[in-house]
Amino acid sequence: MKRKISFLLVLSLLCSLLFAVPAYAVGEGNIDGGGGGMGQGTSQNFWNSGNEGVRVTVVRVSDHAVVTTPIDLTNKSISNGIYHFGKVSKLQYSSGAGLSPVQGGYVRVNPAQALPKIISSNGSSNIAAIKSYFTDEQVIRSIAGLTGMDFDVLINGEYRLLIEPIAYYTFQGVFIATTATEAAMYDEILSGGLRRRMVSLTHKNLPLAMFLETADLGYPAWGGSRTTAASNADIKSSLGLGIVRFNEMPPEAPEISTYDYEYRTNTEVITAVDVSGGQSDPDNPVSVTFHVGGRSYTVNNVYYPSGDSQLAWIRWTTPDTPQTMTITVSVHGGGTVSDGTIQVNIVDLDENPPPDPNADDRNDSFTTPSIPSTAQVTSASWGVWRPWWRANWVWHSRRNGGYWCDHGWWECAATRC
């Protein structure tokens, strides 16, 4: 595909913003990282160290809105004909955006001030250098120009930079660009096919290249392993991102609630937990038991592959009267659950009737209050792992003949519910 002359002129003007100006530190980096060694690739599935970059998005703090089109920075001369999923940030995927594969039209910027090493191939990522780079005034001014933001507006404390590592690699013979979140979502579509071939990159070194030290923009600080492959669920919820704050604003305080869930009285509801640890298959099945209000609900055959997870859920009806309840969850057959104890508040909306004013009531200072808006979950979808047997017949020789024996193993494929 030929590039249009107008596109080259615009890109040249954008790149000119990266020429040297006096450099000072500005902003504060909320970035940490890890990683580990790389496995062996094949001619169809491999990654070359250094084929990397970052996606930068300007986010408004007050409502977590993406206010600019994300930009991709890299030191490499990546062909615009590469396969990719467009300029979509982790926040947009978290809000429900889906993957939209594209071939060609990929736009990236090579900064004059080269990026530090982002993705480690041996667990020795230099987080100090990454923080220093993305809090350098010269770099921030360049990003402001590339995204169309005024520099002084960008650093006034109302905005933050969302930084996501990108890897450029060959998968099934095709050169592709993905962030960690895109790789996890792509792997779910492929029923684990990406993880099986590229696990060291897509599920370890890429997502662990950046994660948060403190919770921010609705994402938690990462407290899990820094050296082992992560599950798709953990990557989407917590990994593959760093944040730059300005004006030394502290991170947003997380919303604190006494209860994990609030349900209405006499209502059919669904309560779920995430199950992980080891591998669950028909030879080594996992079951989960929910203890709710004196009753036990058991979910059998909760299957998932090693390194990933599965939702286990029950449908039950809440009591007729308002109360607080504690739901305990136990696992049988190995594995752990995300929440072993769930605090629930059962409320009755009829217990908050509106006032009954009289004709001669007066309140001259009355003003119309804002209508409260509480998020309501009315539907959900998730992937379900289905185990299947991969046969591997092996011939065993004997003196008077021999026999075939199946030395296969269980694998899991994901379907959507």
DSSP 319: -
Burial of 6 (C-beta count, 10 Å sphere; 0-12/13-18/19+): exposed
Judgement on whether residues 181 and 79 belong to the same structural domain of the protein: yes
Tell me whether strands 341-347 and 287-292 are parallel, antiparallel or unpaired.
Answer: unpaired
Q: Are residues 230 and 266 in the same domain?
A: no
Instruction: Report if residue 74 sits inside a domain.
Output: yes
| Whether 108 and 74 share a structural domain | yes
Q: What was the pLDDT predicted at 35?
A: 57
Domain that holds residue 402: 385-416
> Is residue 139 a part of any domain in this protein?
yes
**Rounded Cα–Cα distance for residues 37 and 181 (Å):** 21
Q: Is position 2 within any domain?
A: no
Same domain, 277 and 169: no
Name the pTM for this structure: 0.58
Question: Is 230 in the same domain as 310?
Answer: no
Between CA 359 and CA 205 the distance in angstroms is 70
Instruction: Establish if 405 belongs to a structural domain.
Output: yes
**What's the pLDDT at 8?**
36
Please report the pLDDT score of residue 21 as a whole number.
Answer: 39
**In this structure, which amino acid lies at residue 262?**
E
Distance CA 4, CA 391 (A): 52
Q: In sequence order, what are the beta bridge partners of 292?
A: 295
d(CA 303, CA 285): 7
C-alpha to C-alpha distance for 277 and 305, rounded to whole angstroms: 9
Question: Is residue 273 situated within a structural domain?
Answer: yes
289 and 221 in a single domain? The answer is no
Q: Measure the CA–CA gap between 47 and 200, rounded to whole angstroms.
A: 10
Instruction: Indicate the residue among 303, 335, 352 that finishes a domain.
Output: 352
The per-residue pLDDT for 210 is 93
* 34 & 85 share domain: yes
List the chain pLDDT tens, one digit each, 417 residues: 433 333 333 334 333 333 333 445 666 777 766 655 555 557 889 999 899 999 999 999 989 999 999 999 999 999 989 999 999 999 999 999 999 999 999 999 999 899 999 998 776 668 889 999 999 999 999 999 999 999 999 999 899 999 999 999 999 999 999 999 999 999 999 999 999 999 999 999 999 999 998 899 999 998 888 889 999 999 999 999 999 998 754 445 444 446 788 899 999 999 988 888 888 888 888 899 999 988 899 999 888 888 788 888 899 999 999 888 889 988 888 778 777 888 899 988 776 666 666 767 677 777 777 766 666 666 666 667 778 888 898 888 888 888 889 888 888 776 654
Residue 265 shares a structural domain with residue 241: no
Q: For residue 96, is it within any domain?
A: yes
pLDDT value of position 249: 47
Q: Are residues 409 and 270 in the same domain?
A: no
In a domain, 360, yes or no: no
Rounded CA separation 146/38 (Å): 34
Do 393 and 291 have their domain in common? no
Q: Do 207 and 139 fall within a single domain?
A: yes
4 assigned to some structural domain = no
Give the list of residues 6+ apart from residue 362 with CB closer than 8 angstroms, or none: none
Q: Tally the domains of the chain.
A: 3
Position 37 scores a pLDDT of 53
Check whether residue 399 and residue 321 sit in a common domain. Answer: no
Q: What is the pLDDT of residue 237?
A: 93
